[in-house]
């Protein structure tokens, strides 16, 4: 049905818009069990906001519907006919790429800002269209909402075995956003799981962080380790990082549904080509001012300099050779102990690899 809200969302650049009831999430029990197990690692905001995440009424009293949106960040030319080939392509394979690897979603201006601007306009429009008394609130990724379940309930697609949402029409290169509203909207048909017997995402995970279908241990996930973890990266997991400096796309890249991925209308004009494969040794030379100039306005800014250089040092330890040692030696003297320790680890790893050469 070409509902006015759906029409307006598409006009603003979203690639999907669907409706779900604001009933409590059916996955609430699963979520609480995952929290008890500690699978969230250091992301303490998750248990802190758990009561809101399992009850939309605590987020917006009187909420009756959730408007779920998706914006694709796929790029034309990056999706070959066989998705398995993606892991052999330098664009997504951290083990063969020459430069540092940044997750595909982060090679744009900050999606919180880009989507947020469109969402704010849509949210205001919804309130005006709904009339007196209509209240709505919008989120992009950061709200206390189990957004993947609402996206599935709104017909966007289904939650895959890698725990991300998969759209039959857009693949899984998608951002999610939602508006909680007091309007009562006719819900769309929920998406049905179509993973079947496929286990490509589980098989592709470098650290086996997908411990079972639909279950992720974030503490082993390379996206968590390079983005969310604020302290020391466990030494035993550092080799698996390869040349990743922000995120990991392996489980997403192998999904067969990416055959249908489409270039995102909302994001395509915000691509940052300088983030495709940055030179690692150049990144080590960044001071605070240089970091802000290079990565301000992108998702990488949340790392701040210390975590980025921590990641860069590990990446160089994995793929670097003798030419990386001077830059790493300078970094080993960084006043920040987190950066210095990871640089020393990288130096030792490169030297050990050199000694093993015939």
- Residues 6 or more apart whose CB falls under 8 angstroms from that of 36 comprise none
15 contacts 171 by C-beta, under 8 angstroms: no
Concerning whether 141 is annotated as a catalytic residue, the answer is yes
Cα–Cα distance for residue pair 232/310, rounded to 1 Å: 8
Token pair recorded at residue 76: 């034309």
- Active-site entry in 91, 141, 276, 336: 141
320 contacts 328 by C-beta, under 8 angstroms: yes
Cα–Cα distance for residue pair 228/137, rounded to 1 Å: 26
Token pair recorded at residue 294: 């290079």
Cα–Cα distance for residue pair 305/110, rounded to 1 Å: 17
DSSP secondary structure of 280-328: HHHHHT--HHHHHHHHTTSGGGGGHHHHHHHHHHHHHHHH--GGGHHHH
Terminal Cα distance for the chain, rounded: 68
Give the catalytic positions in this structure.
141
């Amino acid at each position: 049905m070409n509902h006015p809200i759906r029409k307006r969302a598409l006009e603003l650049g979203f690639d999907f818009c669907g409706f779900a009831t604001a009933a409590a999430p059916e996955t609430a029990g699963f979520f609480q069990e995952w929290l008890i197990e500690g699978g969230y690692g250091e992301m303490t905001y998750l248990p802190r906001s758990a009561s809101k995440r399992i009850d939309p009424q605590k987020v917006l009293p009187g909420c009756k519907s959730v408007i779920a949106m998706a914006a694709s960040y796929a790029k034309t030319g990056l999706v070959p006919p066989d998705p398995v080939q993606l892991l052999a392509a330098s664009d997504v394979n951290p083990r063969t790429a020459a430069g540092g690897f940044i997750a595909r979603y982060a090679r744009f201006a900050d999606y919180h800002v880009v989507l947020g601007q469109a969402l704010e306009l849509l949210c205001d429009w919804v309130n005006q269209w709904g009339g007196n008394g209509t209240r709505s609130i919008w989120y992009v990724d950061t709200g206390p909402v189990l957004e993947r379940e609402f996206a599935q309930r709104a017909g966007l697609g289904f939650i895959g075995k890698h725990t991300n949402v998969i759209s039959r029409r857009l693949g899984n290169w998608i951002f999610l956003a939602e508006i909680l509203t007091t309007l009562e909207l006719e819900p769309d048909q929920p998406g049905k799981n179509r993973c079947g017997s496929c286990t490509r995402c589980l098989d592709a995970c470098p650290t086996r962080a997908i411990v079972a279908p639909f279950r992720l241990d974030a503490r082993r996930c390379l996206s968590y380790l390079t983005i969310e973890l604020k302290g020391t990266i466990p030494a035993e997991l550092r080799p698996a990082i390869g040349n990743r400096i922000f995120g990991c796309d392996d489980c997403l890249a192998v999904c067969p549904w990416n055959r249908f991925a489409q270039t995102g209308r909302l994001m395509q004009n915000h691509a940052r080509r300088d983030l495709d494969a940055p030179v690692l040794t150049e990144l080590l030379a960044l001071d605070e001012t240089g970091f802000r100039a290079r990565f301000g306005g992108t998702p990488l800014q949340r790392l701040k300099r210390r975590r980025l250089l921590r990641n860069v040092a590990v990446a160089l330890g994995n793929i670097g050779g003798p030419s990386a040692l001077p830059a790493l030696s300078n970094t080993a003297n960084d006043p920040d102990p987190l950066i210095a320790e990871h640089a020393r680890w990288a130096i030792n790893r490169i030297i050990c690899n050199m000694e093993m050469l015939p």
